[in-house]
Amino acid sequence: MSASEPADNPWLHNQYTGQRAEGHATQILGNVGTVNLSLPGNPAQDCLAALFLTDPLDDRKNLIDKKGSRVSGTCEWIRQNKIYDSWLHSRSQLLWLSGGPGKGKTMLSIFLAEELEPIARQSQDVIFIQYFCDNKDEKRNTAVAILRGLIYQLLKLHPKLIDHILPTFQIQKESLLTDSSFGSLWICFESMVRDASLGVVYCVVDGLDECNAASLEVLLKRLRALFSPDATLSSTCHLSLIAVSRERPDFVLRELSGFPRIRLDPDADSDVNSDIGKFVTAKVGELSRYRNYPPQLRSHVEDVFHRRAEGTFLWVGIVAKELEKYTRDEVEGALNHFPPGLDELYARMLQQISPDRRETAGKILRWVVIAVRPLTLSELSAAIGTTAEASSGLSCEEVTSEQVRNCGHLLTITDTPTGQEVGVVHQSVKDYLLRETRDPIAELEFFRIKKETANLEVALKCFTYLQDGALADGKVDLARDTQRTEAFPLLSYAVLHWPEHARCVSDSESDIFDLSLPFYADWSPVRETWLGTYWAAKEYEDPPSSFSLLHIASYCDIVPLAERLLCRRRWQKYLELDVNKTDNRRRTALYWAARSGNEAVVRMLLETGADPKAKDKHGTTALHWAASWGNEVMVRLLVEKGADPRAKTEDGETALHKAARSGKEAVVRLLLEKGADPEAKDKDGTTVLHSAASSEKEAVVRMLLEEEVDPRAKTEDGETVLHKAARKGKEAVVRLLKKW
């Protein structure tokens, strides 16, 4: 394992399909003369295979299958939009396309992709890449997943760019592709889009607001820096990006508001309404042909659609689908049941669920909305406790399918390679069900989902499921042991995701953290089996032994469990001896908490006597991880509690090296104030300034130069800081060093 970046709960690297990824890698790199792909274990092929998660072109095709093809004439208005035209003919610019739910953002993204692809095909100097986020697909809902998808496409279209990632990949291996190594992966991506051999790189990223909030905020900060006027003037960036999203979360507006923007509402209201008009005509035309509407009825339905859609394609699509089951004699009366606006429509659908089905429907909606990925019908059946109906011959999955359909058009069932998956019809359904304001209507309040309560329900079910026999036969290979996963359909989800739900529970006194449960015993076969199964799927190294409950709480970022362990009086005597207990790699709970970036657990551990100077077998301390994360508060806390800012790993790296490499200006300044050595060298002679020179952060380089470090220092290989910056394509840093 490389200690160059912090690691939280790595997962993405283990999710690609080997054969398909290797096939793509061979296709991509087949024309690179320096790479012999016939050799087993070729590093370039290994890198490409590891990068692959999904093919964005396949994702786009699946979206079209799900949403339907674009209605002729829609979206074409953007060709004449002055802001879009300016972006199209500008060098390296970010354009933000924003709009509320149901405004047709994804269809517009698909249209833009179809517009830009021919431009790229017609010119050797232009390439096009794309990405479609999906908040319910863990392969498509993190900043690292986005970078992996974009890098994968860049290498497919421009294979020689492999030089920007291969050296780092050969050192860090799959750990480079985990969520916690975003900083290292970003450096590779930025080097690629600044490569002088590139012409123009057009890029469309759809649904940024569906990305995990914490990782999205970091990504947007990097994009803002990449496209800032100073950055684009001082160093060539070839990327021209269209970012498509809502204004949510709040930081999206903060980070992107300074860039050119097309707002579908209200700036493009007339264009969007014109498109909705075409969409209404097309949908009512389909209904009219299907149900043989007379002209007067067709005109009436069109008029109602126009008045009640309130500027959203989604309302039209849902109601048109619902009207398919009514004859032409019933349509006019049925229209009265569909109120205007999405929220009102969703409320009406919930109120139409019969009272005897509401309890099951409520449970289904909670699971579908709160689950961190889409559940298959078999998983959902196990989650809600569905039983087969012997009298009718229906299986559990078939019964659950009927129960899902009882929720109206709020949910969808989609065929996938892993089975039929259940999801919400649109992100706005999730937003509606998770609304925080109490509903005055009792029926609707029943369906409103309270996040913490729902997470506790899911966590408890998963936790109980694991203890009630799912792990009785020992460690499970979740990818290959189909016999066990078929016998226990919820096993994979329960193993991998109960910690994520548990960490969303704030009450440390909750039943799930009852320390008398078998899972929390001093020695628990169930816990050991779970840890081995979980670790094999999540990590890239063998599971540690001697992993205590406190290690688990710290590694999995479960604050309430850590609080329960640390604060209960009956544990105090034990913790006097155990708070600094190490696993077989000499890693303490503090190490794992810092590695996970959990400031709250770090604080609790330090207050309970954790040793801030403790090193693992590689010499890595909690401070090294905190510095890599750029967490100024955590760094300050650790140093004030006695962490050594001059401590070195076995490779000779200090926390200052890590902060400088990641371009963490505030942390670099803090470490220098606290006594870090600005002249420190690792075992290869790499100085802190060398590390800073590869980060594109002029401010960090300048800060170190002002500390009178030697800008002519050489590594063991004779590389100067200037060589390093030039090799990495950091033109702004090169100019600064030349002036100094």
d(CA 693, CA 723): 9
Question: What pLDDT was estimated at residue 326?
Answer: 93
- pLDDT, residue 380, reads 98
In this prediction, residue 729 carries a pLDDT of 62
Phi and psi, residue 643, nearest 5°: -65, 145
The more confident residue out of 409 and 86 is 86
Of 91-95, 133-137, 156-160, 163-167, the one with minimum mean pLDDT is 133-137
* HSE of 501, CA atoms in CB hemisphere, 13 A: 27
Residue 562: alpha-carbon gap to chain centroid:
25
Token reading at 390: 């012997």
pLDDT, tens only, 584-621:
999 999 999 999 888 999 999 999 999 999 999 999 99
pLDDT at position 76 is 97
HSE-up of 373 (CA within 13 Å, CB side)? Answer: 17
Higher pLDDT, 125 or 728: 125
The SS3 of residue 129 is strand
Sign of CA dihedral 107, 109, 110, 111: positive
Mean pLDDT of 115-143: 94
Sort 91 into a burial class: Cβ within 10 Å, 0-12 / 13-18 / 19+. Answer: exposed
The mean per-residue pLDDT over the stretch 342-351 comes to: 94
Structure confidence at residue 22 (pLDDT): 40
pLDDT at 727: 72
3-state secondary structure 286-334: HHHHHHCCCHHHHHHHHHHHHHHCCCCHHHHHHHHHHHCCCCHHHHHHH
User: What confidence tens digit (pLDDT) does each residue in 252-310 have?
Assistant: 999 999 999 999 998 999 999 999 999 999 999 999 999 999 999 999 999 999 999 99
% of residues, the chain, pLDDT over 90:
70
d(CA 459, CA 481): 23
Q: What is the mean pLDDT of residues 424-443?
A: 94
Least confident of 562-571, 638-647, 692-701: 562-571
Question: In DSSP terms, which residues pair with 411 in a beta bridge?
Answer: 424
Q: Is the pLDDT of residue 736 over 50?
A: yes
- Is 78's pLDDT higher than 50? yes
Count the Cβ atoms, other than its own, within 10 Å of residue 644. Answer: 18
Place of tokens 């879009």: 84
6 pLDDT higher than 80: no
CB 513, CB 561: distance < 8 Å:
yes
Instruction: Provide the token pair at 669.
Output: 């300044």
pLDDT (0 to 100) of residue 16: 31
For residues 663 and 300, what is the distance between their CA atoms, to the nearest angstrom?
61
Q: How far apart are CA 436 and CA 415, in angstroms?
A: 32
Residues 611/643, Cβ–Cβ less than 8 Å: no
Confidence at 38, pLDDT banded by 50, 70, 90: very low
Q: Identify the pLDDT of residue 19.
A: 37
3-state helix/strand/coil string of 220-258: HHHHHHHCCHHHHHHCCCCEEEEEEECCCCCHHHHHHCC
Q: Residues 159-207: pLDDT tens digits?
A: 999 999 998 898 778 878 888 788 889 989 999 999 989 999 999 999 9
pLDDT at 569 over 60: no
Residue 543 has pLDDT above 90, yes or no: no
**Mean pLDDT, residues 44-59:** 93
DSSP-assigned states of every residue in 505-574: ---TTSGGG-TTSGGGSSS-HHHHHHHHHHHHHH-SSPPPSS--HHHHHHHTT-HHHHHHHHH-GGGHHH
Mean pLDDT of the chain: 88
Predicted confidence (pLDDT) at residue 701 exceeds the cutoff of 80: yes
Question: In the numeric block, which tokens belong to residue 267?
Answer: 């700036």
Please check the confidence at residue 36 and state whether its pLDDT lies above 60: no
Mean pLDDT across 548-573: 83
* Confidence band of 1 (pLDDT split at 50, 70, 90): very low
The confidence score (pLDDT) of residue 420 equals: 93
What pLDDT score was predicted for residue 572? 52
Cis peptide before 525 (omega within 30 of 0): no
* Residue 355 DSSP code: G
Going by C-alpha positions, the residue among 536, 530, 551, 559 that lies closest to residue 463 is: 530
Q: Centre a 10 Å sphere on the Cβ of residue 233 and count the other Cβ atoms it contains.
A: 10
Q: How far apart are alpha carbons 455 and 504 in whole angstroms?
A: 6
Q: Identify the weakest region by mean pLDDT among 12-16, 418-422, 545-549.
A: 12-16
Give pLDDT tens digits for 226-244.
998 765 444 589 999 999 9
The pLDDT > 70 percentage for the chain reads 91
The backbone region for 75, taken as left when phi is positive above 0, alpha when psi lies in -120 to 50, beta otherwise, is left
pLDDT of residue 597: 87
**pTM attached to this predicted model:** 0.80
Per-residue pLDDT at 570: 47
3-state secondary structure of 687: strand
HEC assignment per residue over 51-119: HCCCCHHHHHHHHHHHHCCCCCCCCHHHHHCHHHHHHHCCCCCEEEEECCCCCCHHHHHHHHHHHHHHH
Residue identified by tokens 């003919």 is 89
Question: Tens digit of pLDDT for each residue in 321-345?
Answer: 989 989 999 999 999 889 999 999 9
